[in-house]
Amino acid sequence: MNEVIAFILPGMMYFWVLFIGQGPMQEVIFDREGNILPRILASPVTLPQFILAKMLRCFIICGLAMVLLVVFSRMVYGVTWGNPLLLAVAIIACALSMTGLLAAIYSLARTREQARTLSSTILLGMAMVGGGMFPFENLPGFLQAVGQFTPNRWGNLALRGVAGGKPFADLIAPFASLIVLGLLGCGIAFVLFRRQLSTGRGK
């Protein structure tokens, strides 16, 4: 039973936590549409600080959610997660990639309705082909060909690799993919958010 849970849990963890971490990114749109942002910026807070604070909170929420799931699975189901240092790196890389992905998605949306539709479509689609809903190994070949490029798959490989006791050398590829996605997504989102919020575009 423990082996089965350890096999399916990493992919499901990445999928669940993505939905948990949406709150701070949703607030960016809510604050803009509700005319709350001007009041926030009237205080000693700059627009870049506002955007970075939302991203940082998203990163912290995603990281803490993953830590809680790891602790819960260990205490309740006896799942072993391998080297604690590598596990910490995996959690940080996953949380960073989630932050970049969610920030990029919400920076493309102009309204709450667009944000909900866009995020649900993208997150569910990636989960289906990346191993978040079904075992990746059981998917048809053409879906595996697509799914191998999703962050869900990279997160799954990173977490399962750590739990399976793989050495750091074997985990460099998924770690690097998650970190690059996180940094790139955050960078793109920062530019788009700053442009939208400073010009009022998207209202």
pLDDT tens-digit series, residues 88-119 = 999 999 999 999 999 999 999 888 888 889 99
pLDDT, mean over the chain: 89
pLDDT at residue 100, rounded to an integer? 97
What is the pLDDT averaged over residues 16-34? 90
Q: Alpha-carbon distance 97 to 152, whole Å? A: 10
pLDDT at residue 172, rounded to an integer? 96
Instruction: Quote the tokens at residue 15.
Output: 């999928």
Given a contact cutoff of 8 angstroms between Cβ atoms, the answer to whether 172 and 88 are in contact is no
Given a contact cutoff of 8 angstroms between Cβ atoms, the answer to whether 154 and 178 are in contact is yes
* 7 pLDDT higher than 90: no
Show the DSSP H helices in the chain as ranges.
2-20, 23-33, 37-41, 47-77, 84-108, 112-130, 141-147, 151-163, 168-199
Given a contact cutoff of 8 angstroms between Cβ atoms, the answer to whether 115 and 109 are in contact is yes
* Whole-structure pTM value: 0.90
How many folded domains does the chain comprise?
1
Residue 60 structural domain: 2-199
Given a contact cutoff of 8 angstroms between Cβ atoms, the answer to whether 93 and 175 are in contact is yes
pLDDT tens for 58-67 read 999 999 999 9
pLDDT tens for 146-156 read 989 999 999 99
